[in-house]
Amino acid sequence: MAFLKRKIGYGFGDMASSMFWKIFSYYLPFFYSNIFGLSLLDAGILVMVTRIWDAVSDPMMGVLADRTDTRMGKYRPYLLWFCIPFAVCGILLFTTPDFSYAGKLIWAYVTYVLMMTVYTGINVPYGAMLGVITDKSDEKTVYSSYRMFFAYGGSFIALATWEPMCGFFEKTVGLSAATSWQSAMCVIAAACIILFLLCFAMTREVVRTKSVVSIGNDFKALLKNRPWWLLICAALSFNLFNTVRGATVAYFFADVIGADANMWLFGLSVLFYSGLFLSIGEVANMVGVALTVPIASALGKKPTFIMVNALLIVFSIGFFFLPLSSVGFFLMLLFQIGISVLTGIMSPLVWSMYADVADYSEHRFHTASTGLIFSSSSMAQKFGGAIGGAAVLWLLSACGYVAGTGATEVVQPESAINCLWALMTFIPAGVAALAICVVWFYPLTTDKVNEIAESLRVRRNRATEEAADIAENFDNINN
């Protein structure tokens, strides 16, 4: 029962992070261009430039977490220390000040950098906990599955309630559109604080590791780590796939589907809108997470990765040929479910593979740099989000997309509509193909991972015994 409690508690951590991350990924570009009032070009530059800081802050956070030593553990305390700053920065990010255009642009840069810094401060140590919460590779996949199941549950809650909350604050309470978005984020932020505190209270670190080499040697070992290079490129592609599709959805529904589109579902006419499309996808993600352990156990992690991306290519291209009709909308929802089940399988798989890479690093280079390894996963997630979000905005700008604030109805040129279709179909398919090419050369097979785990178990036991002998000899001398 205690282990189930820890798995659920570990899941609560990413439930909180994902509530924020999905809102950022799917609605922040739309917020900046259609609510906050930035141009598509400036919004795209903002999203991309702020990631330069992330390239520095993520490894820094990983190194700092690896060298943290408290009675609560190495990584777990950061959940307690950063939960409130995390919530406050999220609210500031969705705050629209009454400034000039230049002042608003500066505000956007400052709040975005602050949010991503705090996100790093809590998410890198949280991710690294997977490496010390158990020493068994298969069980890391189980913990990772719990993590992603709760993450998608949080994403579902956030995405399903986001537009209704914004609408409630605007239409029922009578707030402006900008203040309504800020108020909705206040509700999400309060929930995140509670979830992070539950994660802290319900988890424990059971594997004690200590970095015995210099920071420079940690980085040298990382740069020599071939599986890490391959996995980070594959993970970057996966995050790029998710972000390109996700960041396009709000635009796609506003300008291709339309605000009054309906589909037939179980004999009823149902409004087909972006929140429904995204939240149903999150439920399907949870189904995919539940399938990860049996599929990866049967096929192996690497073959599962390749199979999933191949199917993502098929579904993404097939989406292009669906008609804009009630039947077509229903088929779009089915394709979204299929794609989301597949991405649900991928998420815990990738995190579990990072844990394997951390073990490989400790085995090969004798460096306990779990935090540094997992910081790269956060960096891949952020770069994927940055490149994907910026690419969506820049491509739309290049194709003549006309941003609006809702005051007047905008008719988009054909080039912009074609761009939106490409962003939902062929471009994600190309990214999935790139991921397959990269992971094809990934060397950590199931047999290799098991061999490394056994070697580390023997080494750690020997180190524990030696430490006990030294302590006993020290006590004898003093006595």
Torsion of CA 313, 317, 322, 328, to 10 degrees: 20
pLDDT at 478: 57
pLDDT at 415: 94
pLDDT at 55: 64
pLDDT at 276: 81
pLDDT at 193: 97
Note whether residue 479 is domain-resident: no
Note whether residue 476 is domain-resident: no
- Averages of pLDDT over runs of 10 residues in the chain (479 residues) are 82 92 82 88 83 74 84 91 95 94 95 91 88 79 85 86 90 92 96 96 80 65 82 87 88 83 68 80 87 90 95 97 89 94 90 83 74 69 74 89 66 91 96 94 86 79 60 56
Give the C-alpha distances (Å, rounded to integers) separating 387 from 129, 242, 244, 382, 436: 27, 11, 9, 8, 19
Burial of 307 (0-12, 13-18, 19+ CB in 10 A): middle
Note whether residue 394 is domain-resident: yes
Note whether residue 324 is domain-resident: yes
- Cβ neighbours of 176 (radius 10 Å): 12
Separation CA 56–CA 66 (nearest Å) = 16
**Residue reference for tokens 């969506």:** 392
End-to-end CA distance of the chain: 43
Note whether residue 478 is domain-resident: no
pLDDT at 159: 84
* Sequence-distant (≥ 6) Cβ neighbours of residue 385 within 8 angstroms: 21, 24, 25, 47, 239, 243
**Which residues constitute the domain of residue 293?**
2-205+214-470
Note whether residue 475 is domain-resident: no
Q: Parallel, antiparallel, or unpaired: how do β-strands 262-265 and 268-271 relate?
A: antiparallel
pLDDT at 321: 95
CATH code: domain of residue 369: 1.20.1250.20
Domain count, the chain: 1
Separation CA 293–CA 212 (nearest Å) = 34
Separation CA 77–CA 80 (nearest Å) = 5
In single-letter form, the type of residue at position 59 comes to: P
- Residues in the chain, total: 479
Note whether residue 120 is domain-resident: yes
In single-letter form, the type of residue at position 359 comes to: D
Instruction: Let me know: does 280 contact 333? Beta carbons within 8 Å.
Output: yes
**Residue reference for tokens 């070009």:** 41
